Amino acid sequence: MSEQSAPAIVNEPFILCENLVKIHKIADLEVVALQGLDLEVKEGELLGVVGASGSGKSTLLNILGGLDRPSAGRVRVGKRDLLKMSPRALTEYRRKEVGFVWQQGARNLIPYLSAQDNVELPMILAGYAGRTARQHARDLLAAVGLDSRRTHYMQMLSGGEQQRVAICVALANSPSVVLADEPTGELDSNSALTVYQAFRNLCKQAGVTTLIVSHDPNLARHVDRVVAIRDGKLAGETVRKVIAKHPAAPAHEQHPQHEHVFEEYAVLDSAGRLQIPKDLREQYGIRERAKLDPVDDGILVRPVVREGEADVNGQLADPEALETQRAMASRAERRGLQKLLARFRKR
Ligand SMILES: Nc1ncnc2c1ncn2[C@@H]1O[C@H](COP(=O)(O)OP(=O)(O)O)[C@@H](O)[C@H]1O
Ligand SMILES: [Mg+2]
């Protein structure tokens, strides 16, 4: 049995990044693109990755795809430790285990080959028999609704169609991971929809662990979970749940009879650090420190209000608490003074 088809260890994430750091060096300049990123992805999960431009999304994908090496931390995909692999093993990993889908059609497809030939090519190069490759390519193209476009060349296909062919190319050699860097970045929302459906139909059904980087706010409707990256770290995540409004609702998730419910979570890093979103910090006047109060079902994070300072509701801090603080302060003061006097008296 090959390593790839070995049964997954229950509950072990398929992709694991721990405290992942990447520093890009250009001449004397160092740019920290990832600064201690922690991420776990389950086998077969369809994961969305969002974040502002420059937040480190492409850097993460390039590392997971074996195109770039991390500077520090841990990164494992399946059983492979990407930090410890030799350059040769990394090339082998990239060729056999990873399927890429890039933003630009030209980077994904060869313009002078038909859609069918583009999908067959990676299989032929990997040594599959012509007939097997032909049939598999046809099946893949049919699964993304491009059966009638098989003989078309790139310039005869729309942007959305090109990206769907690209997904077929990425999946041709049955990779264990598919990495897509802004695959819908140049598409209108309708074409983007067909591309997300293609990811769902192919990757989800084949059980391939898939990461899709996007700026598209609609992404969350089409993936299992979305993680947000901020400044090279994981900042939060949104998990989608689909609830049928009617017991007889069709299985198709995007059907209007299904409601999509999104639950947003803050994420903790391996040291237990938590990032509180800026809007919440501002709303509650939380600045450089906060109070953590255990309550029955969780921990309450409260702003620290200084004496004489109005809290967010415009009220002054609790007068009773202030009185106690004042009394304690004056007691300490008194004690200090008494000590000083005692010292003088001894002289
Ligand atoms: N090859 C590189 N050389 C130098 N700096 C880079 C390189 N790739 C990315 N960076 C820098 O690393 C940071 C993260 O970039 P990137 O991963 O491309 O972000 P994103 O894909 O989220 O826009 C940015 O500040 C970017 O300028
Ligand atoms: Mg990018």
**Does residue 310 have a pLDDT over 70?**
no
Residue of 293 and 335 predicted with greater confidence? 293
Q: How confident is the model at residue 277 (pLDDT cuts 50, 70, 90)?
A: confident
Q: How much is the mean pLDDT over the chain?
A: 87
Task: Name the closest ligand to CA 49.
Answer: 1
Residue of 13 and 333 predicted with greater confidence? 13
Q: How confident is the model at residue 2 (pLDDT cuts 50, 70, 90)?
A: very low
**Does residue 170 have a pLDDT over 90?**
yes
DSSP code of residue 277: P
The alpha carbon of 172 and the centre of ligand 1 are apart by a number of angstroms equal to 29
Q: What is the pLDDT of residues 315-337, one digit of tens each?
A: 556 667 667 766 766 676 667 66
The alpha carbon of 183 and the centre of ligand 2 are apart by a number of angstroms equal to 11
Please give the share of the chain, as a percent, with pLDDT higher than 90: 62
pLDDT at 241: 81
Residue with tokens 């501002």: 282
C-alpha–C-alpha distance, residues 334 and 328, integer Å: 10
Task: Name the closest ligand to CA 185.
Answer: 2
With CA atoms as reference, report the closest residue to 138 among 126, 153, 155, 120: 120
**Does residue 8 have a pLDDT over 60?**
no
Structure tokens at 303: 């702003």
Amino acid at 227: V
Residue of 126 and 15 predicted with greater confidence? 15
Q: For residue 229, which atom of ligand 1 is closest to its CA?
A: 22
Structure tokens at 287: 């600045």
Beta-ladder partners of 21: 35, 72
Q: How many angstroms from the chain centroid is the CA of residue 37? A: 10
**Does residue 9 have a pLDDT over 60?**
no
φ and ψ at residue 210, rounded to 5 degrees: -130, 130
Residue with tokens 């859609």: 115
Q: Average pLDDT of 145-149?
A: 96
For ligand 1, residues with CB inside 6 Å are 24, 26, 31, 33, 51, 53-59
CATH says 15-266 is which class?
A: alpha beta
Q: For residue 51, which atom of ligand 1 is closest to its CA?
A: 22
pLDDT at 344: 64
- For atom 27 of ligand 1, the residue with the nearest CA is 54
With CA atoms as reference, report the closest residue to 80 among 58, 99, 64: 64
Give, in order, the Cα–Cα distances in Å from 10 to each of 13, 14, 224.
8, 10, 19
pTM of the complete model beyond 0.95: no
**Does residue 46 have a pLDDT over 80?**
yes
Q: How many angstroms from the chain centroid is the CA of residue 205? A: 20
- For atom 3 of ligand 1, the residue with the nearest CA is 24
- Sequence-distant (6+) residues with CB within 8 A of 125 are none
Beta-ladder partners of 46: 210
Instruction: Please choose from 20, 24, 53, 55 the residue to mutate so as to test ligand 1's pocket, defined by most ligand atoms within 8 A of CB.
Output: 24
Q: Average pLDDT of 181-188?
A: 95
Three-class SS state of 126: coil
Quick one: 88 exposed, middle or buried, by C-beta within 10 A (0-12, 13-18, 19+)? exposed
Beta strands in 80-231 (DSSP E): 80-81, 98-101, 177-181, 209-213, 225-230
C-alpha–C-alpha distance, residues 115 and 110, integer Å: 9
Give, in order, the Cα–Cα distances in Å from 246 to each of 185, 221, 254, 346.
35, 19, 14, 88
**CA-only gyration radius of the chain, Å:** 27
Task: Name the closest ligand to CA 56.
Answer: 1
Q: For residue 213, which atom of ligand 1 is closest to its CA?
A: 21
The alpha carbon of 228 and the centre of ligand 1 are apart by a number of angstroms equal to 16
C-alpha–C-alpha distance, residues 235 and 277, integer Å: 8
C-alpha–C-alpha distance, residues 226 and 244, integer Å: 21
Q: Average pLDDT of 97-117?
A: 93
C-alpha–C-alpha distance, residues 54 and 105, integer Å: 22
pLDDT at 20: 96
C-alpha–C-alpha distance, residues 170 and 41, integer Å: 19
| Residue 197 and residue 19 in contact, taking contact as beta carbons nearer than 8 Å | no
Instruction: Please choose from 17, 29, 31 the residue to mutate so as to test ligand 1's pocket, defined by most ligand atoms within 8 A of CB.
Output: 31
pLDDT at 321: 67
**Does residue 307 have a pLDDT over 70?**
no
C-alpha–C-alpha distance, residues 324 and 82, integer Å: 57
Q: What is the pLDDT of residues 49-70, one digit of tens each?
A: 999 999 999 999 999 999 999 9
pLDDT at 308: 63
pLDDT at 1: 41
